[in-house]
Structure 1
Amino acid sequence: MQLKSRHISLHPYIVLMGMGLLIIASFWSLDIQLSKLLSFRSWELMGKFFGELFVPNLSGNFLNKVFQASLETLAMSALGTLIAAVFGIVLALPASKTYANDPIYTRTITRWILNALRSIPELVWAALLLISVGLGPFAGTLALALHTTGVLGRLFADAIENAPTEPGDVLRIMGAGELKIFLYATLPGILPQLISYSLYRWENNIRAATVLGVVGGGGLGQMLAFHMSLFQMQDTSTILITMIGLVLLVDSFSYFLRRYLDN
């Protein structure tokens, strides 16, 4: 009986060793002071912090302010996502190859634009826009719209390219223009997918909108930054509970709506 020698590739082990060395180097380069984290004083301060945090402010006047800020955050995320969906589909058309012999002259530059938009985080967009439009929800909405346009534009372009080409080829042979081909052949087949992508990004934008308030983008985030800076933990607790509830509400609505569209 002849035994066949097996060739064992060393590449996975080399990659794992490299990752292990990087992790060890990360611990060595960071100033991690576990003694302070595990000290009795640290646990005492954290206990006091969480003890105050779990006693929300339920006064009517403050709850009214939180409700108004919640509506502002919801509006920022919804409007930002809607603007991004519109511009995303506009940019997705020149960024996608719709048939085999498509010359796609604008594909490369449009994809560069989409990459640039989504490579810059919402916080950076908000910080830049605050200079021109000032503090408030308008800057936050535009920041969400710019970043999400890059994300949705790329997803929409991939959906267009992966769509079946046969219906469009038939219309193209009949002399129809590319816009009509997209509206009557491509769009009906990918519309549920586009809506699903947009709803998923709306879920993410609810979370992002709360963070944008930290840099003055309005909504719950701006209230959170203000009250935390003053160490008003009861007010902070109310805002955090509201943020969690708002995210859960939008996530549930989006989930059931996507389930309905899939059926």
Structure 2
Amino acid sequence: MPVNQPTAARKAPPLPPPIWDARCRACWFTVLLLAFVAASFWSLDLQWGQFLSWQAAKDMSRFLGEFFPPETSADFLWKVTIGAWETLAMSALGTVLAAMGGLALALPASRLVAGDTAWARGPTRLLLNALRSIPELVWAALLLISAGLGPFAGTLALALHTTGVLGRLFAEAVENAPTGPGDALRAQGVGQGRVFLYATLPQILPQLMSYTLYRWENNIRAAAVLGVVGAGGLGQLLAFHMGLFQMGKTATILGAMLILVGIVDATSHLSRRLLSR
């Protein structure tokens, strides 16, 4: 029987690597990133002294005090309810349109099988980059010319921007899906369309739903802001009453925004939990 070696003679566990190594690319990347952050703070000339001064605190306190008491008249609360419904409808419809458009563009923007030429991949990804590089507020301002004032322009603005975001995320999900089930179907002579429907899509569907729900959360916030340029909803009420310095009514609108965002966040979180089971 082999004799057990003394504890001291056993092989020592490997020591952790040094914090800094000149041959470590991650170390140099971290240094460059920290230098970039430091340069950003230096170039922006942030007025921290003025921001943290006692006078700034008093001005902010006086400004916040003007929000109380909020407006609670029945007529105004009904108007806020209508605006909240418009904001919710804009975000929901814009997200649904974006999910359909994103999925349609994700297929030509992805390489479905190794070795595929995917000639449309580059132009489609360029289109997705263009859609999401333009903020929703700019899209809404442009669409107001053709669609006019109201929630229609806001809905289209959300749909266009979110299509660029979801299309890119959906394309990455398609390319990263396991290829085993699809290869098995291709070996049997199944066409590419049915391979996607029966092999790829079932694997990535929970991921696509999670992305869509997350973007819905973002769109409910964006929809509240789009009203500032006349796209309807709570944002339009906010811009109107805040411009008139009616701070009590502004506080009621802000409270409605907080409640609406909380409801959407809770609904989205519950939906993701149900999908993950």
Same fold per superposition (TM over 0.5): yes
Residue 145 (structure 1) aligned to one of 130, 155, 159: 159
Q: Secondary structure at the match of 1:63?
A: helix
User: How far apart, in 2, do the equivalents of 1:14 and 1:72 lie?
Assistant: 46
The number of residue pairs the alignment matches comes to 254
What 5-or-longer segments of structure 1 have no aligned partner?
1-5
Alignment of 1:12-91 (within 5 A): 12-13=30-31, 16-17=34-35, 19-27=37-45, 32=47, 34-35=49-50, 38=53, 40=55, 42-91=56-105
Q: From the superposition, tell whether residues 186 and 140 of structure 1 become closer, same or farther in structure 2 (CA, over 3 Å).
A: same
Q: Give, in angstroms, the shift of residue 100 of structure 1.
A: 1.0
Amino acid at match of 1:38: S
TM-score of the two chains, using structure 2 as the length reference: 0.86
Identity %: 60
Q: From the superposition, tell whether residues 226 and 153 of structure 1 become closer, same or farther in structure 2 (CA, over 3 Å).
A: same
Q: Give, in angstroms, the shift of residue 25 of structure 1.
A: 2.7
TM-score of the two chains, using structure 1 as the length reference: 0.90
Note the alpha carbon deviations across 1:198-234, whole angstroms, 9 max, x for none: 0000000000000101111110000000000000001
User: How far apart, in 2, do the equivalents of 1:127 and 1:158 lie?
Assistant: 30
Amino acid at match of 1:209: A
Residue 229 (structure 1) aligned to one of 225, 243, 251: 243
Q: Give, in angstroms, the shift of residue 185 of structure 1.
A: 1.1
Which of these two proteins has the greater Rg computed from alpha carbons? 2
Q: Give, in angstroms, the shift of residue 250 of structure 1.
A: 0.3
Find out whether 1:172 has 2:186 as its counterpart.
Answer: yes
Q: Secondary structure at the match of 2:119?
A: coil
Amino acid at match of 1:195: M
Q: Give, in angstroms, the shift of residue 162 of structure 1.
A: 0.9
Q: Give, in angstroms, the shift of residue 50 of structure 1.
A: 1.0
What 5-or-longer segments of structure 2 have no aligned partner?
1-17
Q: From the superposition, tell whether residues 118 and 242 of structure 1 become closer, same or farther in structure 2 (CA, over 3 Å).
A: same
Residue 198 (structure 1) aligned to one of 212, 234, 258: 212
